[in-house]
């Protein structure tokens, strides 16, 4: 049986604005965050836009390490959720300013 190790995510107190802004500076990652903000949790496949898995793995890693996305494994599926409440608590108004209403 294949066992997936859990993803690591920074504590809210360890999230810094430079990493958040760096993560959002890439149009693909910004698109992923916008999609999660508008439609809620989604699988990696729902968000890949037909791009190669290796490319998307890198983008999700950057988003996770920045504290923007929570990725949880459910069997072979990876569900991604925007950590909106955490980011809003740490940097009030930041996501509202960067994401469409």
What pLDDT shows up at residue 19? 97
Please list the alpha-helical segments (H only) found in 40-83.
Answer: 44-47, 53-66
pLDDT tens, 24-45? 999 999 999 999 999 999 998 9
What pLDDT shows up at residue 4? 58
- On whether the pTM is more than 0.85, the answer is yes
What average pLDDT does the chain have?
92
pLDDT band of residue 1 (cuts 50, 70, 90) is very low
What pLDDT shows up at residue 9? 94
Q: 6 pLDDT exceeds 50?
A: yes
**CA end-to-end span of the chain, whole Å?**
43
Whole-angstrom Cα distance, residue 31 to residue 35?
Answer: 6
Highest mean pLDDT among 44-48, 67-71, 96-100: 67-71
Query: What is the residue extent of each domain of the chain?
Result: 13-98
* The CATH number of the domain covering residues in 13-98: 1.10.10.10
């Amino acid at each position: 049986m294949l066992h997936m190790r859990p993803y690591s995510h920074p504590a809210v107190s360890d999230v810094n604005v430079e990493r958040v802004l760096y993560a959002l500076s890439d149009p693909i990652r910004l698109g992923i965050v916008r999609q999660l903000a508008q439609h809620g949790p989604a699988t990696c496949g729902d968000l890949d836009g037909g791009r190669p898995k290796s490319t998307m793995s890198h983008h999700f890693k950057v988003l996770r390490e920045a504290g923007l996305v929570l990725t949880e494994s459910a069997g072979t599926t990876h569900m991604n959720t925007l950590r909106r409440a955490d980011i809003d608590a740490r940097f009030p108004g930041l996501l509202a300013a960067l994401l469409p209403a």
